[in-house]
Structure 1
Amino acid sequence: MAQQQQISLPAKLINGGIAGIVGVTCVFPIDLAKTRLQNQRGQQLYKNMMDCLIKTVKSEGYFGMYRGAAVNLTLVTPEKAIKLAANDFFRHRLSKDGGRLTVFKEMLAGCFAGMCQVIITTPMEMLKIQLQDAGRLAAQQRVASSVVTTLKMGGTSGVLSRSYNASQVTRVSAIQITRELLRTKGVTGLYRGLGATLMRDIPFSVVYFPLFAHLHQLGQHSSEDPSVPFYWSFMSGCLAGSIAAVAVSPCDVVKTRLQSLKKGANEETYNGVVDCVRKILKKEGPGAFLKGASCRVLVIAPLFGIVQVVYFVGVGEFLLGYTPYNIYSA
């Protein structure tokens, strides 16, 4: 038994890593739209998710929808591995002789998992947001420039449509951003918005993991056969992820605003979580906290559905020569 537990941890880390890569690749364009919708204030460049994606493709090309994907794909492997493996680890530690956990202990395990993952999540999100939002800021500058030029020439038509056919967005890499942050602010620069990230990820994990465990358990064939059809794992991940995503959407808006280093013209700067919340309420109203909520659900639902399918299929166990249900504990 001890040997199985020792080998199961690497297997779970492999599962989490593969699951994260597959999931992120599928839903990244929607995540980019979410970031840009959450960050825009004042002048509305994008009406909704589809409008954002269409304008992104027009101005930046197809691969513009994957700006920041390299950072996410690189760091999502350790992030998802830590998140999923930590939840399993703490569930195992909190259970008595493999017994069934109470809802409180399930929530506690999720809380600890959320705390562990921010080691990777915070710098990953920090870099990803800068790359994702670069196109929005460039588009905003082009619109402002077009407006000024048009006013000087005495015309007013076609400003917005022409702006999206302008020159390509200036490219900036994650390595450049990292070097600049380390040079000017040290390691702490990469962990800007840590409090807001904790404020989002801990409640998300507290809601998601217990809810998923109970939904997943409903799909078991019998107490003797704990296996679950892959489609049930997918649907359980989607539903639990959707509910958790909506619950913490306001925290995600605050986190995104705090981690955006560059601002557009006349856009607010924030000094911490409380200041950010206060200014958003004052300038944009309560509805601003739900900006990008539908996009976030469309990202999280399939992402965690895919993640759970890969995780519970047991790719890691297969690669290590073990079947998933011999070492699975839920």
Structure 2
Amino acid sequence: MASSSLLVSLVAGAAAGTSTDVVFFPIDTLKTRLQAAGGFFANGGYHGVYRGLGSAVVASAPSASLFFITYDSLKTYTRPFFRKYIKSNDELADMVTHMFSSSFGEIAACSVRVPAEVIKQRTQTHQSDTSWQTLSKLLKNENGEGIRRNLYRGWSTTIMREIPFTCIQFPLYEFLKKKWAFAESRDQVAPWQGAFCGSFAGGIAAAATTPLDVIKTRIMLSHKSVPIAQLARRIYVEEGAKVFFSGIGPRTMWISAGGAIFLGMYETVHSLLS
């Protein structure tokens, strides 16, 4: 992939990530508080919905850029490989390409996203007043687990959430764009059409992966590390199965509307720079 294409992906991804996080941050706060132990009002209710915005803004541009650089690069390099070995069906080969590329894109983005999520969610639930105070507490290592484990708490759960999410969202997003462009006898869709496809695909992926998002939130908010299976079992016994779908409304709305801005902004900036 040419350096100019990498630069386009970097800038487009940064613009997409930052704009989405700033616009829809209050909805994300409500979702986090719905999923946190103790319930919505015990964790702040409708007050201070912009708590933790600083960490989200700082991390949104680099994490989104990392995702799209990885995604666009792997998509370019691996499509010929998958088409070579899946000769009978180009659409299946493209779907596998998008799943593979987006999965590695999410893993790359999580290197920045996970520490920011930990700081953001703890600030959203009033464990401290600002993102800086939350970071300072984590760096003090009060629980004795180490700074790396504190900052990257929930890493594996986040990956477990992001890979199925992106394996639903991006193949569906690319499929819808391709079909829409074909129906209009064009090479590619307009940015607004890409935004609509991203919104639809994101909403479906968000709803399907809500239980994994609940577990991820609980792990990030816990004072000490806890095994995923043990936490899931405890939540089920103490709070019932319905709690795994806490925040499904705000999460689906946030990612569906956010997907329209995120992928719409990406398509717009990408088309302008290309």
Q: TM-score range by the shorter chain?
A: 0.7 to 0.9
**Cα distance, 1:223–1:231 mapped onto 2, change above 3 Å:** closer
Q: Which runs of 5+ in 2 are unaligned?
A: 84-89
Name the residue aligned to 2:87.
none
The Cα of 1:117 is off from its aligned counterpart by: 1.4
Partner of 1:197: 158
1:238 corresponds, among 172, 190, 199, to 199
Which of 274, 280, 283 is equivalent to 2:229?
A: 274
Q: Residues 130 and 261 of structure 1 are in contact (CA less than 8 Å); yes or no, is this contact kept in structure 2?
A: no
The match for 1:20 is 17
CA distance, structure 2, for counterparts of residue 88 and residue 222 of structure 1? 24
Q: Tell me, in whole angstroms, the C-alpha distance in 2 between the residues paired with 1:233 and 1:103.
A: 17
Greater than 4 Å deviation, 4+ residue runs: 97-100, 221-224
1:249 has 2:210 as partner: yes
Question: Per-residue CA shift, 1:152-211, capped at 9, x if unaligned?
Answer: xxxxxxxxxxxxxxxxxxx53322322332231222210011111111111111111111
Contact 1:234 1:309 in 2 (8 A): yes
1:110·1:209 contact (CA, 8 Å) conserved in 2?
A: yes
After TM superposition, give the deviation of residue 232 of structure 1 in Å. 1.2
Which residue does 2:52 correspond to in 1?
68
Letter paired with 1:309? G
| Contact residue 75 and residue 97 of structure 2 kept, 8 A | yes
Distance change in 2, residues 1:176/1:220 (3 Å): same
Cα distance in 2 for partners of 1:98, 1:223 equals 27
The answer to whether the 8 A contact 1:10-1:316 is kept is: no
Aligned 1:99-178 pairs, distance under 5 A: 101-134=93-126, 172-178=129-135
Scaled by the length of structure 2, what TM-score is found? 0.87
Does the alignment pair 1:299 with 2:260? no
Give the corresponding residue for 1:45. 41
Which secondary structure state, in structure 1, belongs to the residue aligned with residue 125 of structure 2?
helix
CA offset at residue 289 of structure 1? Answer: 0.5
Paired letter, 1:102: D
Q: CA deviation at 1:32?
A: 0.4
1:219 maps to 180
Report how far residue 317 of structure 1 moved.
Answer: 6.4
The two structures have a TM-score, normalised by structure 1, of 0.73
Query: CA, structure 1 residues 229+97, in 2 after alignment: closer, same or farther (shift >3 Å)?
Result: same
State the 1:115 CA deviation. 1.6
The amino acid of 1:22's aligned partner reads S
Amino acid at match of 2:65: A
Segments of structure 1 that go 5 or more residues without pairing to the other structure are 47-51, 138-170, 263-268, 325-330
Asked which structure has the greater CA Rg, the reply is 1
In 2 relative to 1, CA 255–71 (structure 1 residues): closer, same or farther, beyond 3 Å?
same
Whether the aligned pair in 1 keeps the contact of 2:82 and 2:97 (CA below 8 Å) is no
Deviates more, 1:245-254 or 1:180-189: 180-189
Equivalent residue letter for 1:272:
P
Any idea what the Cα deviations from partners look like across 1:100-141, whole Å, max 9, x if unmatched? 54322321222211221110111011000011111xx7xxxx
Give deviations 1:270-325, integer Å, cap 9, x for gaps.
Answer: 72211111001111111111000111011101111111111111x2564xxx4x3x
Determine helix, strand or coil for the equivalent of 2:41.
Answer: coil
Question: Are the counterparts in 2 of residues 270 and 276 from structure 1 also a CA contact under 8 Å?
Answer: no
Question: In structure 1, what is the Cα distance between the partners aligned to 2:133 and 2:251?
Answer: 28
Question: How far, CA to CA, are the matches of 2:263 and 2:6 in structure 1?
Answer: 16
Aligned to 1:32: 29
Residues 257-281 of structure 1: CA distance to partner in whole angstroms, max 9, x if unpaired?
000146xxxxxx7722111110011
Q: Distance in 1 between matches of 2:184 and 2:26?
A: 40
Q: Is the 8 A contact 2:37 2:218 kept in 1?
A: no
- The AA in structure 2 aligned to 1:117 is A
Check conservation: 2:177, 2:188, Cα contact below 8 A. no
- One-letter amino acid matched to 1:281: Y
What CA distance in whole angstroms lies between the structure 2 residues aligned with 1:231 and 1:224? 17
Identity level (%): 26
Q: Is the 8 A contact 2:197 2:260 kept in 1?
A: yes
- Note closer, same or farther for the CA distance 1:222–1:285 as it changes in structure 2 (3 Å cut): closer
- Residue 44 of structure 1, CA deviation: 6.1
Contact 1:113 / 1:205 at 8 angstroms: preserved in 2? Answer: no
1-structure distance, mates of 2:184, 2:76: 19
* Rounded Cα–Cα distance in structure 1 between residues aligned with 2:95 and 2:81: 17
Is 1:10 matched with 2:2?
no
Task: Decide whether aligned partners of structure 1 residues 97 and 222 sit closer, same or farther in structure 2, where only a CA change above 3 A counts.
Answer: farther
